[in-house]
Amino acid sequence: MTSPLQILNNPFLNKGTGFTMEERTELGIAGLLPPKVQTLEEQADQTYQQYLSKPSDLEKRLFLMEIFNTNHTLFYYLFSQHVVEFMPIVYDPTIADTIENYSELFVDPQNAVYLSIDQPDTIESALKAGADGRDIQLIVVTDSEGILGIGDWGTNGVDIAVGKLMVYTAAAGVNPENVLPVVLDTGTNNQTLLDDPLYLGNRHPRVRGEKFYSFVDQFVQKAEGLFPNLYLHWEDFGRENAANILDKYKNEITTFNDDIQGTGIIALAAVLGAMNITKEKITDQTYLCFGAGSAGAGIANRMYEEMRQEGLSEADARKRFYLVDKQGLLFDDMDDLTPEQKPFARQRSEFDNADDLKDLLSVVKTIHPTIMVGTSTQPGSFTEEIVKEMAAHTERPIIFPLSNPTKLAEAKAEDLLAWTDGKALIATGIPVAPVEYKGVTYEIGQANNALVYPGLGLGTIAATAKLLNDEMISAAAHSLGGIVDSSQPGAAVLPPVSQLTKFSETVAIATGQSAIDQGITKQPVTDIKAAIEELKWTPKY
């Protein structure tokens, strides 16, 4: 029997003033709440008014976290009513502020699990305690080395695991009972944190190499052992580890890397949306990646796979790609390429001016890209000169400044439209209000992996898929097509966040159906729609 205070202090059980008189008597909490009984609707209205009174986005987020920590049903009910308004508060970009100021703002560990590389023996007991008897089907885990584009934030990165999970529930209806946020604290190389007396994480440099991978593996083995229906989502690991970890586990367990695969899906969906507007073919595009890290190489790889599927040979498909990183255009004679960059590296002999191709402008001038995607963390790097140069050689330049949060974006949508006289087809990483330009209202698509990972996860879990493979990923990317009316002037390349719950279901069905069609499910699931309906959670009393 749960004690009265255990009920009121448990956000899964607590309804606050929403408890009826009968419930209050039955649970022994009569007299522990103000007498009025409120409906969920009334609570939500009252809470929303309080939310509106908060003076800044950060204050708004902290207030919503307080509601989350108190009453999950109320939090998600409210979230579902205000998806467009809350996404940038609960999630990116405001989440970046709470990560940067985590120790100063700390009030509650938010039911997350903090695993320390200095205490590997506690992995299993901590996961078990965090689950507290619940059937965990979804973990978002981060080691916080590459939080968004803001870098290494040690233990503070736990907020991204919590925030990503909130979006799973708000967008796709994943039951909060079945999820667990985890941070792997393997140290930090962020000197500001190491010097900060308030810092709450391990106060030593990041552990690398064998010891790191062994710790990650112990976590994977324990989590898989405890939670047999697990979908394991990796978030914001550093460039040197993210792909290694994914490659190690993706053929063994049901697992997903959001920055590599999720971003690949949403960016491909956005390019397909652009193709729908221009009526061009993806196989005719010239693709420029600026910032070829986890996301940049992940997106390039997804585009490459799409071109292969559309009939190009390996060699012909590779020729359509140009990757630019800190070194400039990536060449195959460079000795510091990542394994993900190598297959896309070009030969110097292809160019008369190879040695000049060290900056983005020179590359754009030389290769005439039709698609330019920024995942570089370099704010303002898509300059007017570069964009105008690109637009001089292609009718509808496709330009996606995807670096997050807002302060790191390669360009602003309104500038891109002004510089290209309204021709640019744009998607951004963070939400952007529609832009008015010469009498046309341009809707700006949000190419953030949050538009796909919730549905992808729900569909994979509902299908009980053994793996998340390329076919499922491709199906997810294609499922977002046809939602936007591409014939409208100023049409976006992606569906709007206001329809997030609707198209998350579309993505879930496409993903799950693909697993069923391939025969890679653990259980004999036949009707994916029914399986998804059964799994879906709705916030109600």
Ligand X SMILES: NC(=O)c1ccc[n+]([C@@H]2O[C@H](COP(=O)([O-])OP(=O)(O)OC[C@H]3O[C@@H](n4cnc5c(N)ncnc54)[C@H](O)[C@@H]3O)[C@@H](O)[C@H]2O)c1
Residue closer to ligand X, measured from CB, 130 or 154: 154
CB of 134 to ligand X, least distance (A): 29
CB of 55 to ligand X, least distance (A): 27
Residue 255 binding: pick among Mn ion, ligand LMR, ligand X, none (C-beta 5-8 Å cut-off by kind):
none
Q: Does 164 qualify as catalytic in the annotation?
A: yes
Angle at the Cα of 66 (from 61 to 70), degrees rounded to 5? Answer: 145
Establish if 236 lies at the interface with Mn ion (CB under 5 A).
yes
In the set 126, 292, 300, 416, which binds ligand X (CB under 6 A)? 292
10 Å CB burial of residue 445 (0-12, 13-18, 19+) is buried
In the set 222, 233, 239, 250, which binds ligand X (CB under 6 A)? 239
Reading phi first (left if > 0) and then psi (alpha if -120 to 50, else beta), residue 16 is in left
Residue closer to ligand X, measured from CB, 44 or 447: 447
In the set 80, 241, 261, 378, which binds ligand X (CB under 6 A)? 378
d(CA 376, CA 378): 5
- Residue 245 φ then ψ, to 5°: -65, -45
Stretch that binds Mn ion, among 60-68, 229-237, 374-382, 431-439 (CB under 5 A): 229-237
| Owner of token pair 């440099």 | 205
Establish if 376 lies at the interface with ligand X (CB under 6 A).
yes
Q: Provide the mask over 45-84, with x wherever binding to ligand X is found by CB under 6 A and - wherever it is not.
A: ----------------------------------------
CB of 235 to Mn ion, least distance (A): 5
Q: How many CA atoms lie within 13 A of 186 on its CB side?
A: 23
In the set 159, 185, 235, 259, which binds ligand X (CB under 6 A)? 259
**Intra-chain end-to-end CA distance of the chain, in Å:** 20
CB of 35 to ligand LMR, least distance (A): 43
Three-state SS annotation for 174-229: CCHHHEEEEEEECCCCCHHHHHCCCCCCCCCCCCCHHHHHHHHHHHHHHHHHHCCC
- Within 10 angstroms of residue 3's Cβ, the number of other Cβ atoms is 11
Q: Provide the mask over 299-338, with x wherever binding to ligand X is found by CB under 6 A and - wherever it is not.
A: -------------------------xxx------------
How many chain residues interact with Mn ion (CB under 5 A)?
2
**Could you tell me the sign of the dihedral formed by the alpha carbons of 266, 271, 273, 274, in that order?**
positive
CB of 73 to ligand LMR, least distance (A): 25
Residue closer to ligand LMR, measured from CB, 236 or 389: 236
CB of 412 to ligand X, least distance (A): 15
- Residue 321 φ then ψ, to 5°: -110, 140
Establish if 145 lies at the interface with Mn ion (CB under 5 A).
no
CB 521, CB 469: distance < 8 Å: no
**51, 76, 77, 91: which is the annotated catalytic residue?**
91
Residues ≥6 apart with Cβ < 8 Å to 171: 83, 450, 451, 454, 455, 500, 501, 504
Residue closer to Mn ion, measured from CB, 95 or 324: 95
**Of 505, 499, 397, 402, the residue nearest 449 (C-alpha):** 402
CB of 234 to ligand X, least distance (A): 11
Residue closer to ligand X, measured from CB, 146 or 154: 146
CB 162, CB 11: distance < 8 Å: no
d(CA 126, CA 67): 25
- Site residues for ligand LMR per CB under 6 A: 92, 148, 236, 258-259, 404, 448-449
Establish if 340 lies at the interface with ligand X (CB under 6 A).
no
Three-state SS annotation for 94-160: HHHHHHHCHHHHCCCCCCCEEEECCCHHHHHHHHHHHHCCCCCCEEEEECCCCECCCECCHHHHHHH
Residue closer to Mn ion, measured from CB, 259 or 389: 259
**15, 164, 250, 412: which is the annotated catalytic residue?**
164
Establish if 403 lies at the interface with ligand X (CB under 6 A).
yes
Residue closer to Mn ion, measured from CB, 285 or 504: 504
Q: Does 281 qualify as catalytic in the annotation?
A: no
Residue closer to ligand LMR, measured from CB, 98 or 394: 98
Establish if 259 lies at the interface with Mn ion (CB under 5 A).
yes
d(CA 277, CA 289): 22
CB 134, CB 178: distance < 8 Å: yes
Sequence letter at residue 218: Q
Buried b (16+ CB within 10 A) or exposed e, 268-277: bbbbbbbbbb
CB of 256 to ligand X, least distance (A): 13
CB of 222 to ligand LMR, least distance (A): 25
Output the six-digit token pair for 397: 């330049």
In the set 65, 162, 271, 295, which binds ligand X (CB under 6 A)? 295
Residue closer to Mn ion, measured from CB, 241 or 513: 241
Q: Which positions touch Mn ion (CB under 5 A)?
A: 236, 259
Q: Which positions touch ligand X (CB under 6 A)?
A: 146, 148-149, 239, 259, 263, 266, 290-296, 324-326, 375-378, 402-404, 408, 429, 447-449
Active site residues: 91, 164
